[in-house]
Copies of this chain bind each other. A is one copy, B any other.
Amino acid sequence: MLIDDAGRQTLLTTYRDGLLNDTLPFWTKHCVDREHGGFTMSLAQDGTVIDTDKGVWQQCRFTWLLGELYNNVEPREEWLELAQHGARFMDDHCFDPADGRMWFHVARDGKPIRKRRYAFTESFAAIAYGELAKATGDERYAEKAVRVFRRFLDHNLNPQRAEPKFTSTRPTKGIGFPMIAIATAQELRDSIGLPDANAWIDRCINDIRKCHLKKEIQCVMETVSPNGDLIDHFDGRTLNPGHAMEAAWFIMLEGKLRGDNDRICTGCQMLDWMWERGWDKQHGGILYFVDVKGLPGHEYWHDMKFWWPQNEAIIATLLAYQLTRDPKYAKWHAMIHAWTYEHFPDPEHGEWFGYLHRDGSVSSTLKGNLWKGPFHMPRMQLICWKLLTGFNDLML
């Protein structure tokens, strides 16, 4: 199976028009809070705001998306204005003056509700500020981007400040930090020319290779001991195939940008292993959690189909096909694309459902909450559109 020119054009149109005519208008119409600033992302199926609280991840991510579109698609004033609207809310309400860290969840008026022990919010703020620096030329945004990126790194590498959730009896290390550090550095290299981006990316790819990739069992481990040993308990056995495929395409992309076949092979290897483990051979789609030994896991929603693992699998398979021309990736891309587009889009009100049962039936009609906002899906649409635009040129 291959992607021919007609197929390429059909896919390109699906992703591009989905982004510009469906996803973006849904969010810009429903989520912009002109009274208190920022974005109210907790939307019912038809876009009605059902919780006025604001998730800070989503404030940052939508701001990033708008800046990314302004910088890389076309300089629409609407996008820049909305990105600045998002950044103002971040500046005014999303940092705790007591310690400089970011909140995770704030009320509509910006009053803080919750901070998490983890500092991923800071990584999303960094890429948002980075795009605004590029869009406006304002150095202050670039400084903020660098500052929150350093905080993200520091908090994850020196976490002693927060009261830990677990004792020191069984320390663990997740793939989340190195993979998000790669993606964040890639974005900041592109937007503000972050000087040490390559060094961070190389360090984190090496870390993932050394600790999370297990050739002997053909698997990408989500959580390991600090030196990369398997942890034979529920948490340590829990795989997150969609997350691993997301890491896979970050690494493939780095190989492509740096002209390095080794990294491309690593990314493809990760995709191969986790496709095998994550693709639901019974119903189709990517499962949320899978136990590395095939034992029953302890997360209740393990066999549900969330929107974002499908998004990441769609990107990873398309990029792998572009880079290798191995027909199996075209086949996988066709499989995951078909299953996803059959089950997730909402034919009535547009945009996508986020939470399906294993068989593809809708579990919740929510369009947004603290976790689901305009990020994974429009990022997929944008990246796949752009990949397909230069599909033949970009092959290594």
Interface string of A273-296 (1 = CB under 8 A from B): 000000000000000000000011
A363 to B359, CA, bound (A): 12
Contact of B296 with A111 in the complex, beta carbons under 8 Å: no
* A392 in contact (CB, < 8 A): no
Contact of A364 with B167 in the complex, beta carbons under 8 Å: no
Which of A167, A301, A357, A358 has the largest count of B CB atoms less than 10 A from its CB? A167
Question: A113 contacts which of B166, B295, B296, B297 (Cβ < 8 Å)?
Answer: B166
Of the A-B pairs whose beta carbons lie under 8 Å apart in the complex, a sample of 23, sorted by A's number, is A42-B298, A44-B296, A50-B296, A51-B234, A51-B298, A52-B233, A53-B233, A107-B170, A111-B170, A112-B169, A113-B167, A113-B169, A113-B170, A114-B165, A114-B167, A115-B167, A163-B163, A298-B369, A300-B300, A300-B304, A300-B364, A357-B357, A357-B358
Which B-chain residue is minimally distant from A162 (CB atoms)?
Answer: B163
**What is the total number of copies of this protein in its complex?**
2
Residues 301-329 (chain A) with a chain B CB within 8 angstroms:
301-304
* A32 in contact (CB, < 8 A): no
Question: Which bucket holds chain A's interface residue count?
Answer: 35 or more
Task: Please give the distance in Å from A96's CB to the nearest CB on chain B.
Answer: 9
**B contact residues around A234 at 8 Å (CB):** 42, 51, 53, 369
**B contact residues around A170 at 8 Å (CB):** 107, 111, 113
Contact of A300 with B163 in the complex, beta carbons under 8 Å: no
Give 5 closest A-B pairs by Cβ, nearest first. Answer: A300-B301, A296-B366, A111-B169, A296-B364, A112-B167
* Known interface pairs A114-B167, A300-B300, A300-B304; 15 further A-B residue pairs with C-beta atoms within 8 A, sorted by A's residue number: A44-B295, A52-B233, A53-B234, A107-B169, A111-B169, A113-B167, A114-B166, A115-B167, A163-B163, A234-B369, A300-B355, A300-B363, A301-B301, A302-B364, A357-B357
* A23 in contact (CB, < 8 A): no
**B contact residues around A167 at 8 Å (CB):** 111-115
* A266 in contact (CB, < 8 A): no
* A370 in contact (CB, < 8 A): yes
* A365 in contact (CB, < 8 A): yes
Contact of B363 with A303 in the complex, beta carbons under 8 Å: yes
Given A42-B234, A51-B234, are A366 and B298 also a contact pair (CB < 8 Å)? yes
Which B-chain residue is minimally distant from A363 (CB atoms)?
Answer: B303
**B contact residues around A363 at 8 Å (CB):** 300, 302-303
A107 to B166, CA, bound (A): 12
**B contact residues around A295 at 8 Å (CB):** 44, 50
Task: Please give the distance in Å from A301's CB to the nearest CB on chain B.
Answer: 4
A248 to B364, CA, bound (A): 28
**B contact residues around A112 at 8 Å (CB):** 167, 169
Task: Please give the distance in Å from A160's CB to the nearest CB on chain B.
Answer: 14
**B contact residues around A163 at 8 Å (CB):** 163
Which of A45, A51, A297 has the largest count of B CB atoms less than 10 A from its CB? A51
**B contact residues around A370 at 8 Å (CB):** 298
Task: Please give the distance in Å from A295's CB to the nearest CB on chain B.
Answer: 5
A52 to B369, CA, bound (A): 36
Interface string of A166-177 (1 = CB under 8 A from B): 110110000000
Interface string of A141-171 (1 = CB under 8 A from B): 0000000000000000000000101110110
Which B-chain residue is minimally distant from A357 (CB atoms)?
Answer: B357
Residues 40-55 (chain A) with a chain B CB within 8 angstroms:
42, 44-45, 50-53
A346 to B300, CA, bound (A): 19
A301 to B296, CA, bound (A): 16
Task: Please give the distance in Å from A307's CB to the nearest CB on chain B.
Answer: 12
**B contact residues around A369 at 8 Å (CB):** 234, 298
